[in-house]
Structure formats: C-alpha cells, structure tokens
Structure 1
Amino acid sequence: MAPLICMITGCTSGFGEAFVHDALSRGDKVIATGRKSETRLVHLKEAGASILELDVTASPAELDAKVKEAIAIYGHIDVLVNNAGYVQTGLIEATTQEKLMEQLDVNLFGPINMTKALLPHLRERKTGTIIFIGSLFSWYGRPNVGPYAISKHALAGFAETLNLEVSQFGIKVLHFDVGHFRTPVLAQAKSRVALKDIDDYAPMINVIAAISPSMHENQPGDPRLGIARMVDMIKGEGMAEGKEIPWRVPIGTDAVEIIKERCEETLRLIEQWKEFSRSTDFPGPKQGFWAEEEKKKASLAKQ
C-alpha cells in the first residue's frame, strides 16, 4: 500500500500524539494539528510530521481555509482523524448551558465542521477515510458524565448517517467506541468540573469523588496498542488484514464488555415488550415505501 497522508486533530497529547507516532512508524505522512502548534507540537515536527495550528472550534470558514492549507502540504489528504476532544464532567442539573455548549463545540461540532470542510476534496478524489474517536459512553451513561456522554451519543449518530451518505463516493467512515485508556484525559477533566451547590446530590457526588482518584493512571487500556488496532483497521493490515471492516467497532476490553451487555439488555427488553410496542400501527398491511421495506427485510431473513 502506498503511504497515506493523514490529517489528525488534537495532537498535543494522548491518542492524537500516539496516532502521529504510529502512522509515521508505518511510513505514512502526517499533518499533526493542534492549538499553539509551534510550542505544543514541535516534538512531533522533530519526529517527522508536518504541523499546523488549528482549533476545531473555529468558524466553518476558518476551518475550510485550514483544510485547504493542509491539502497544499502534500497535495492531497487520504485520512482525517477527528481526535480532538475533552471530558466535561458535571451533573445535568448543575451544568450550565455555557459549559454544555463548550463540550459540544469541541466534541461534536468540531468533527462535523472538519469533516464538511474535507468532504469536497474526498468526493472529488472518490476515495478517503474519515475517523471518529467515539466512546463507550455513546452506549451508556454514568452520573456526572452527562455533557461528555451527550456529545459522544450525538457524534455516533452523525458518523452513522455520514457513512450511509458518502460510501457511494468510495469514502469510508470508521467510528471507534473507545474504552478507558491510560491517557491524560481524566487528569485534564479535573479542571473542567462544572458544579453548583445542590445539597440533594451531595451523597452521589461524595461517592464519585471517592472513586475518581483511583481511576486515573489505572485505566486498563494501553494507548499505543489501542491506536495500533485503529490504524490496523484504517490500513487493513496487522490484526485487521483480510477482514471486512465495519463502520463501527469497540476498542478496549471494557468497551467490548459494556457494549455487549447493553446489546443483550436491549434484546431482552425488546422481547419482553414487543407486543406492547407493536400495538400502535394502523390495521391492515403496510403500504408504499413501508411495504417495500417489509419485503426487503423478509428477503434478507431468508438469506
């Protein structure tokens, strides 16, 4: 395979930095982006990456210009890795609208606008791959992680819809539901807690506060191995060689276990409530579009 040209957001630490090193080690070319690039990305430039200052919360017009600047570096881009993000903690009732929007601007609208800026280039070339770093929190929620979970649930919906729209142009979409990996993300989240004094939640917050210190730097996932598996899928090599690549896959043992449990729970729920849920249609056979959909489902079931 010819070397890929990869544009990666959020490269100042964590997964972004690991992505850069893994791609370079495989002979690919990398455009590493982040804020304050000349100071925070200089080590990646020394490692062989091109660097570009970029804030994913910039306006769509500014991002369009940045993507054009990135394309000019090597002449084209094969892979966009939407990695930039952070964890905004806080109880739903206690999180301000301002803090919630800040979370969505980085974790959701940033990837959306970066993707839209690059899509015309990928459509013209009829090839390319768009990566989304999702989270197991797009499958379930936990107290005090609402803003982050909201952003990741929405990102998964965007990625699925995008995949259905752009696969016709030879563009691949990959969404990784990432578990807990030993990156700085939890340490960085400490400075982003958005709480007001609501006494009723004190017992819950006390439990969370007691657990939180033992989580950071004890996460089960090795970032280097997690990134290696993701790049295997992007390139169709290593542990992904010869396999049909799905648009969405969990990364990490805890992600596999939690998502499997959630799927099994959902199947049990559907089975228990299916007659209740099915009791809401108009009488008689389905018509028009809906009839055709029923035929397709019946045909697939026979295969």
Structure 2
Amino acid sequence: MPRTWLITGCSGGFGKEISKAALALGDNVVATSRNESKLADLAESGVHTVSLDVNAPQKDINAVVAEVISKYGSIDVLVNNAGYILEGGVEEASDEEARAHFDTNVFGQLAVARAVLPYMRAKKSGTIANMGSIAGWRGGINCGLYCSTKFALAGITEALKKEVQPLGISVVLIEPGYFRTDFLSGGHKVTPKKTIEDLVPVIKPLKDMFSMYDHKQPGDPVKGAQLIVEALTGTGRCAGRQLPDRLAIGSDAVAMISGVLEHKKKELDDWKDLAVTTDISD
C-alpha cells in the first residue's frame, strides 16, 4: 500500500528532489510551497501540489493538513524542509529579522508537526523528518542566526523523538552538508539591512566564500534525496537499519561533525578537573 508524504519547501533543492524520489517509489506525494505556481513541474509529474505558508496561522496549516488527510486517508511521512539562511553578523540582524528567521526555520516546522502529529498518534505510526544542517553542530561567522535555528531544531527533534517513539512514531533530524542547490542564492538567502563596519574584516571573507561556493558545492541533491527517502522508508540500502537521532548527509558533513565532536571532547577533557569540583560536599 502506498505511503503518503507531506513535504514543505518544494520549489527547489531538497524539497523538489525528495518529492521526485518518493514518487518514484509509487507513493502519494503532497508537495507544498508558499507559491504553488513554482511547483508546476512536480504537478505535471504526478505530485499533488498545495499552497502552504509555514508562517500562516495554525488554523490555516491545520486546514491544509486536514485536506490532505481527507484526500489520502493518512500522512505517513512528514518532511519539514522549508527554510532559508539569514547571512550576516549576529549583531547586524535586527530583532525583526532574527524573529522572522526563527519563525520560518523553527516555529514553522513546529506548526506543521503540530498539525500532523494528532493523525499519526491516532494511527500509532508515521515518520517525521526535520531538515537540519551541519550548521547545527557549530556556530559560524556570517551565519550565526542560521546556525542557531538549526541548533534549536536539533533539541526539539531529539526531544520529540523520545516523546512519540512509544506511540510508534519515528522522528529524525536530517543534517546535510553543502549540496549543489540554490540555497546559497536567490530567495533562499537574505542579508540584514544593517552593516557594522567593525565586523566587515571578519565577515566579508566568509561572505565572499559563500558566494564563490554557490553552485560548486560537493553534494549531489539527487543522490542526497534518494538516501533520505530510503532512510525514511527503510528501503533499499537502508533496509534493516534503525534511524539515528541525527542523520548526516554528505562526506563533508561526516568530516565536519567528526571534527566538532573531537574538538568538544578535548575541551571537556581539558576542563574536567575543574568542572567536577563544583558539586556540594555532603
């Protein structure tokens, strides 16, 4: 029996490629975007397309999910993929810009999960994949706010996994490295209106690197999407494997995360002798 997928942020990149890979399995795929017209090619291929703004009021998101349930009877896999990068210094981002970033990258994912989870709980089955990033492992110059949204998603996803696992629901954080999509350009990347001259010497080299790296990233989004679909369905190369809390995608992701873990372990060991002296002496 075919599964039903609900995937957000499908106008390009991973959202579009995951939709194609899931459809190739013979599953029902519901692809969403704020602008449904950007999904015309997916609609022509047999994907059901819907307009969905993850920043819309909860009742509107609930209504979209209810329509999907009415059409297909269930949502078996939710992929929370919608998001963008706010590029710039932490201090440069205004309160409005920072909150808007969290609204899409964090609270938008929470809102869609809230709408879908009651149906998964009723069936005692389902899989939720939140789209994180290797940015959720280390805060970086020029992308600190973006990193912070991915750190937040890591905590939310790990907690949610533990809460709903006894109910038969799987939850995983997908953490891609750099893949050759439009994520570093176009409408997926915005910059703060404010520039702080004191920060330019630190930030500009990273900003230039992002620009030079655009469309030269090592990851193939088609291959990445295929692995994600196999992992979420337990098919192909992932048959018999249990989903991890955080699934790294890309050789650069594996290398970077390994380096972060080694560095953090060293820092912990370097300060352990003092850290353990702070307990109450009973």
TM-score normalised by the chain length of structure 1: 0.90
C-alpha separation in 2, matches of 1:121 and 1:206: 47
SS at match of 2:174: strand
Deviation at 1:283, TM superposition (A): 2.1
C-alpha separation in 2, matches of 1:267 and 1:197: 35
Q: Compare relative contact order (CA 8 Å, sep 6+) and give the higher one, 1 or 2.
A: 2
Q: Gaps spanning 5+ residues in structure 1: where?
A: 285-303
Report how many aligned residue pairs link the two structures: 282
Match of 2:117 in 1: 119
Contact 2:85 2:189 in 1 (8 A): no
Deviation at 1:242, TM superposition (A): 2.0
Match of 2:270 in 1: 272
1:231 partner amino acid: V
| 2:76 corresponds to which of 66, 75, 78 | 78
1:198 partner amino acid: I
Contact 1:91 1:195 in 2 (8 A): no
2:18 partner amino acid: F
1:22 partner amino acid: A
CA deviation map 1:171-203 (0-9, x unaligned): 000111111000001012686111423221121
Q: Gaps spanning 5+ residues in structure 2: where?
A: none
1:280 partner amino acid: T
Distance verdict in 2 for CA 1:200–1:271, change over 3 Å: same
Match of 1:7 in 2: 6
Q: Please say if 1:194 is aligned against 2:220.
A: no
Deviation at 1:225, TM superposition (A): 0.6
Match of 1:58 in 2: 56
Name the % identity: 38
Contact 1:9 1:82 in 2 (8 A): yes
CA deviation map 1:67-89 (0-9, x unaligned): 11111121111011000111111
1:110 partner amino acid: G
Match of 1:184 in 2: 182
C-alpha separation in 2, matches of 1:231 and 1:146: 29
2:225 partner amino acid: I
Structure 1 runs (4+) greater than 6 angstroms displaced: none
Larger radius of gyration: 1
Two-structure CA RMSD over aligned residues (Å): 1.4
Match of 1:287 in 2: none
CA deviation map 1:225-248 (0-9, x unaligned): 111111111111222122222121
Contact 2:142 2:207 in 1 (8 A): no
TM-score normalised by the chain length of structure 2: 0.96
1:232 partner amino acid: E
C-alpha separation in 2, matches of 1:253 and 1:133: 17
The farther-off stretch of 78-87 and 232-241 is: 232-241
Deviation at 1:211, TM superposition (A): 2.2
Contact 1:52 1:70 in 2 (8 A): no
